[in-house]
Structure 1
Amino acid sequence: MELRHLRYFIAVVEEKSFNKAAQRLYISQPPLSRQIKQLEEELGVVLIDRQQRPLKVTEAGSFFYDHALQILQKSDHLRAMTMRKGSFDSSLSIGFVASILYGTLPKIISRFRQSYPTVQIKLHELNSWQQTQALTSGDIDVGFGRLLFEDASVRRILLREETLVVAVPINHPIIQEGRTSVDIADLINENLLLYPKTPRPSFIDYILGLFEANNLKPSCYFEVSELHVALGLVAAGEGMTIVPKSLQNLRGQEIGYLPLEQGLLTSPVIMNVRHFDKSALLKTLLEVTYQVYEEEGFVYKREQI
């Protein structure tokens, strides 16, 4: 059984016709029929009921179809990642979520350039889920995100936990009263501006999960397109938002930033790499990240690539 047999079978199932599948595959119909027949003989089961019109997949065929799709997808990802690996020594493509760009990422990249001045660095703003897809497709080599997703082809390295703070309009009573912190329960009746609206899942789902973990549910929240929109609306007095601490210097004349009294409310900073990718570039990037964390006094857990 070869990969082409899987592609042929998938085409027949999806087109529900040998003729249409042959046209899709740019081959004639008789050889296609023979290939599927040979596949069935090799497996010892009937995959397609040819007596039905349109063609009907048997129970065994349906099972085989689902797994054939997964195998082809992994094959395509492997090809893309291998092709990307071939050009890895001359360039490094990095995915990042916007909030991390306001933290230590610029310093990390600058320090990395000192070790590899001839390597071309390409930056791509992608949310955590998009980074997973980009890694498996070979579009990026490493990603810095904030959400954990299970994917057999991607390894998640938890770099550190970053404290979350509440962004509040500077003229809000909470600021005027001189409060130095805010309880998460105080936010459930406020206009909360959560981001990004799409694509999902994203940071908005993480924040809603924090409320749920504290047995709370915001009574009024609005989904906005991105971080900067949320902060702009806060500055205009339209509500509050929750951001990582590294952003607390943005729009300081219009926005006040208060820590949450639940000091354990944090957002993870995660480095995403392909499983089994142990290149010198990635090892250096991780080591540089730890060096910067040491200088900034961050608490972190050291891992190896």
Structure 2
Amino acid sequence: MELRHLRYFVAVAEGLNFTRAAEKLFIAQPPLTRAIKQLEQEIGAELFIRKPRGLELTTGGVYFLEQARQILDKANAAVNDTRRIAENRKTVFAIGFVPSVFYGQLPLMVRRLRRNKNLEIILHEMKTQEQVDALKAGKIDIGFGRVRIEDPDVEQELLFDEPLIAAVPAGSPITRHPPSMTELSEWPMIAFPSSVGPNFTELTQGLFHRRGLRINVIQRVNDLQTALSLVASDMGFTLVPEQVKRLQREGVVYMSLEDDNINVPVIASRRQGENPNSVMRLANTILAELVENRLAGRYP
């Protein structure tokens, strides 16, 4: 099996049409059709259901598509990193992160890693599920997120639980005292989009639902900065991790919550069973120190 066969398969699987896939790959359709048939014979399973009006992935095809993408991503990452290392003679260390963790210890970790002149640190903003996929594909070396993802190829370490706070409009009556979850449920909420699988939106809205509280989501936004801008515009409140209060915004007041134990986790994800190289050992040492400082109240 060659990488080109995987590329052919992904192109066909994404478009579910041999003609369009052939055009995308700049090859004739008959060789593409033969290559897919050969791939199926080599695997010993059909990947597509051929229908008069197009194709449909079999159950095996759906699984193989995910695996093929990961293999191709890992191959591309290996080529790109090798090229970069050859050009700069540096070791590449890639970090995936969700934006809300970048207002606390993570910048300190990056700063200390960058003191090593033989390292090139690459940062990728991505959701936790994307981090898991990127770890498996070799695109990143470590990820920092908020949600648990069950995957046998990735280990996750809970670094600490971080309090949630409310970002509310300055001058609002809700700033008079630490609001309760019940009080917040009576105000318009600015939330983030839901997505497939565990996510921050599910975590925060679940805090209300488990208390039997209904919420009024007035707007969904894709990023934290937009959410805070809407809060400053007096459109509503949003829940954010405590680290975010270091991001000062005019018209926004950060309020601790009256309820106890309203937390979200900070989780580090790494490849399962991989022996850490010298760079990873250095990163783990720095991370352990930063987490200890956080837990001991020496913040950040």
Q: TM-score, normalised by structure 1?
A: 0.73
Over aligned residues, Cα RMSD in angstroms? 4.1
2-side partners of 1:109 and 1:139: how far apart?
17
The corresponding residue for 2:107 is 106
Q: CA deviation at 1:163?
A: 0.7
Mapping of residues 5-84 of structure 1, within 5 Å = 14-15=16-17, 26=27, 29=30, 36=37, 43=44, 62-80=58-76, 82-83=78-79
Per-residue Cα deviation, 1:184-230 (whole angstroms, up to 9, x for no partner): 111111011223x4876642232112222222220343212321222
Judge conservation of contact 1:154–1:273 (CA < 8 Å) in 2. Answer: yes
Residue 225 (structure 2) pairs with residue 225 (structure 1):
no
Residue 280 (structure 2) pairs with residue 290 (structure 1):
no
C-alpha change, 1:173 and 1:121, in structure 2 (3 Å) is same
Q: CA deviation at 1:171?
A: 1.2
The one-letter code of the counterpart of 1:238 is M
2-side partners of 1:174 and 1:49: how far apart?
58
Indicate the larger mover: 81-90 or 230-239. Answer: 81-90
The corresponding residue for 1:281 is 279
Over the matched positions of the two proteins, sequence identity in percent amounts to 28
Judge conservation of contact 1:190–1:220 (CA < 8 Å) in 2. Answer: no
Judge conservation of contact 2:208–2:215 (CA < 8 Å) in 1. Answer: yes
Mapping of residues 1-305 of structure 1, within 5 Å = 14-15=16-17, 26=27, 29=30, 36=37, 43=44, 62-80=58-76, 82-83=78-79, 90-114=91-115, 116-176=116-176, 179=177, 181-195=178-192, 197=193, 202-251=199-248, 254-277=251-274, 278-298=276-296
C-alpha change, 1:7 and 1:85, in structure 2 (3 Å) is closer
5+ long unaligned stretches in structure 1: 300-305
The one-letter code of the counterpart of 2:213 is L
The one-letter code of the counterpart of 2:295 is G
Indicate the larger mover: 33-42 or 258-267. Answer: 33-42
Indicate the larger mover: 230-239 or 280-289. Answer: 230-239
The corresponding residue for 1:303 is none
Moved over 6 A (4+): 1-13, 20-25, 45-50, 54-57, 198-201
Judge conservation of contact 1:165–1:257 (CA < 8 Å) in 2. Answer: yes
Judge conservation of contact 1:188–1:219 (CA < 8 Å) in 2. Answer: yes
Judge conservation of contact 2:7–2:72 (CA < 8 Å) in 1. Answer: no
2-side partners of 1:79 and 1:269: how far apart?
30
1-side partners of 2:47 and 2:237: how far apart?
57
SS in structure 2 of the partner of residue 292 of structure 1: helix
C-alpha change, 1:26 and 1:263, in structure 2 (3 Å) is same
C-alpha change, 1:85 and 1:141, in structure 2 (3 Å) is farther
Judge conservation of contact 1:164–1:259 (CA < 8 Å) in 2. Answer: yes
2-side partners of 1:41 and 1:104: how far apart?
49
The corresponding residue for 1:302 is none
Equivalenced residue count is 288
Choose 1 or 2 for highest CA Rg. 1
The one-letter code of the counterpart of 1:225 is N
The one-letter code of the counterpart of 1:264 is N
The one-letter code of the counterpart of 2:290 is V
SS in structure 1 of the partner of residue 130 of structure 2: helix
SS in structure 1 of the partner of residue 248 of structure 2: coil
SS in structure 2 of the partner of residue 248 of structure 1: helix
